[in-house]
A and B are shown apart, each in its own frame.
Chain A
Amino acid sequence: MIEFSHVFKRYPLGTEALSDVSFTLAKGEMAFLTGPSGAGKSTLLRLVCRLERATRGRIVVNGHDVSRLSPRRLPYLRREIGVVFQDNRLLNDRTVFDNVALPLFVAGMTGEDVRKRVWAALDKVGLRGRERAYPLALSGGEQQRVGIARALVHRPPLLIADEPTGNLDAKLSDDIIDLFREFNDHGVTVLIATHELRHLERLRKRVIRLGHGHMVDAA
């Protein structure tokens, strides 16, 4: 599902965020991406959904050669990936329903289909009945779950999350990671960047370790 081969990412001021990173994440697999702050976890995820471009190397995501993708094709790659951020990136002037429905609107879906899918997604993250609320009226954990509902409402084959539990207490944090595992059980490929070692021990899934831009362990 994700294939990095000899990927480098250098920023204009000369800092090298990633150097010679290679790994493969198979379809249906779930893995944690970990390492100290500044190791390049966020950069790696941003390369996967091409929020940034690699300086060198080849990245293939769900069959797309990401570095060669034309701007016109880019939206279609993004529709195959669900992305969850630490700061959840919700639109505060829109209701929970509209936030979650956004990936469906973008793909041209309208009417009853949208409603069913949004309800199903909110149901899954335990927020059924909060459709009409605005994000700022929700707690941090609830907001994060709205972000997750938005990431999976269009049933993408790949889900990536950047520190999805960063601001949450242990209980909420576990709930959210369990949610990801549940999606993985349904066949979604999942890649989670986190520095909370607790999850790694609790779930016993594959761990990809980065250290200062280098691959430490991809086993």
Chain B
Amino acid sequence: MKAYLGRHAQVFMRTLGDFARSPAATLLTVAMIGVTLMLPTGLYVALLNLQRLSHHWQPRGSLTVYLKRHTDTRATAARLDALPGVAASRYISPEQGLQELRTRARLRVAVGILRHNPLPAVVILRPRSQTAHAVAALARQVATLPGVAHVESNFTWLRRLDAVLALGHRAVAILAALLGLALVLILGNTTRASVASRAAEISVVRLVGGTNAFIRRPFLYAGALAGGLGALCALIFLELALWALDGPVQRLDTLYGSAYKLVGLGAGQALGLLALGAGLGWLGARIAVGHQLRRDQG
């Protein structure tokens, strides 16, 4: 076991040495992989932020219930509050509504002109269940109650946003699959070139009894290492991009009067990306070197 580890450590160190001896080529490959991985990861992080932002803007799935005039609106409100699907409710009387309008500077004059209060009483409901289905069902139920004039839900646009985000996620998944394939191909090609340039060495290793596993090993290490370093490069690009975007986002936030902080990848996800990069690099190298060796053996 110790000898086994020693052997692997030896090959690993030699691979690092090979990288250090050709820094330009290594840097190019690693940067290329970095950009390739950065694209889907960046999009994913953008979607993540958009999703968080949509939560931030609106309590999800609240219902605005407009009550009929000239009815006992408080009683209706109490009935609404008692519904089993309702987590919380807030009653806004016509007077309160008008008061709220007055506080808005631009509307103050308009409100002053009004001779009587045109606003209906309103109840804002927060459904107990936040699933699309449950909120829609509650909206239908509320609409049939006596004393209710109209139910409006912010749900439609939220659902549209969700659909758009789902589409985005799917697009990211497709892009990630394609670019993952690109990474395998990039490293496959690099490996093929490096196997070809070491043909003399490989033939000597064969002659003295090197197994295919022994011949493959340095190339697999090189592939995995380049993939891993590429992923690290992608993480660095991503952090730089987030850092560059942070200022403008802060400004936008102040204008909207909310406080939003951009999120990047978590530690687990970052490690996952590194592992994925190394794994795909290994795979690309494995396919290329396996193909070369089979051809050699003919």
| A in complex with B | yes
B3 touches A108 (CB 8 A): yes
Given contacts A91-B201, A91-B204, contact A107 B297 (CB under 8 A): no
Whole-angstrom CA separation of A110 from B7 in the bound complex:
7
Output the nearest chain A residue to B210 by Cβ-Cβ distance. A106
B208 with A78: CB separation less than 8 A: yes
Q: Mark A31-75, 1 if CB is under 8 A from B, else 0.
A: 000000000000000000101000000000000000000011001
Are A103 and B3 within 8 A (Cβ)? no
| A78-B7 in contact (CB<8A) | no
* B3 cross-chain contacts in A, Cβ below 8 A: 108-110
CB closest residue in chain A, given B5: A110
The A contact surface, by secondary structure, is loop
B6 within 8 A of A: yes
From A51, A75, A76, A154, name the one whose CB has the most chain B CB atoms within 10 angstroms: A75
> Which B residue's beta carbon lies closest to that of A150?
B208
Q: Report the bound CA distance from A168 to B29 in whole Å.
A: 45
Please report the C-alpha to C-alpha distance between residue A78 and residue B209 in the assembled complex, in whole angstroms: 5
Knowing A89-B204, A91-B200, the reply to whether A103 touches B209 (Cβ < 8 A) is yes
Name A122-174 residues within 8 Å CB distance of B: 150, 154
Q: Which residues of B contact A77 (CB under 8 A)?
A: 209
Instruction: Mark each residue of chain A from 176 to 204: 1 if its CB lies under 8 Å from any CB of chain B, else 0.
Output: 00000000000000000000000000000
Chain B residues 188 to 205 lying within 8 A of chain A, measured CB to CB, are 200-201, 203-205
- From A49, A71, A110, give the contact of B297 (CB < 8 A): A71
Contacts of B204 in A (CB 8 A): 89, 91, 102
Instruction: Choose one: A75, A91, A150; the contact of B210 (CB below 8 Å).
Output: A75
Q: Within 8 Å CB of B201, what residues of A?
A: 91
The answer on a CB contact under 8 Å between B208 and A79 is yes
Tell me the complex Cα distance, A91–B209, Å: 16
A78 interface neighbour in B4, B6, B200, B207, Cβ under 8 Å = B207
Check B297–A106 contact: CB distance below 8 A. no
- CB-CB under 8 A from A150, the residues of chain B are 208
Given A71-B297, A106-B214, A89-B207 contact (CB < 8 Å): yes
- Shortest CB–CB separation between residue A191 and chain B, in angstroms? 16
Check if B10 is an interface residue, CB within 8 A of chain A. Answer: yes
Asked if A208 CB lies within 8 Å of chain B CBs, one says no
B211 contacts across to A, CB distance below 8 A: 72, 75, 106
Q: Is B56 an interface residue (CB 8 A)?
A: no
**B286 CB, min distance to chain A CBs, angstroms:** 18
Mask: chain B, 23-58; 1 = CB below 8 Å from A; 0 = not: 000000000000000000000000000000000000
A30 CB contacts on chain B under 8 angstroms? none
| Distance from B215 Cβ to chain A, minimum over Cβ atoms (Å) | 9
Q: Mark B263-298, 1 if CB is under 8 A from A, else 0.
A: 000000000000000000000000000000000010
Cβ B210 vs Cβ A110 within 8 A = no
Contacts of B200 in A (CB 8 A): 89, 91
Q: Does B79 contact A (CB under 8 A)?
A: no
B6 touches A106 (CB 8 A): no
The CA-CA distance from A53 to B199 in the complex, in Å, is: 21
Partner of B207, one of A49, A71, A105: A49
Residue in contact with B209 in the complex, picked from A51, A76, A110, CB distance below 8 Å = A76
Scan A76-87; emit 1 where CB is below 8 A from any B CB, else 0: 111100010000
Q: B206: CB under 8 A from chain A?
A: yes
Complex Cα gap A79–B211 (Å): 10
The CA-CA distance from A111 to B6 in the complex, in Å, is 9
Known: A91-B204, A106-B214. A79 touches B209 (CB 8 A): yes
Contacting pair B208 A106 (CB below 8 A): yes
- Chain A residues lying within 8 Å of B6, measured Cβ to Cβ, are 110-111
Q: Which 4 A-B residue pairings sit nearest by Cβ, starting from the closest?
A: A79-B209, A78-B209, A103-B208, A106-B210
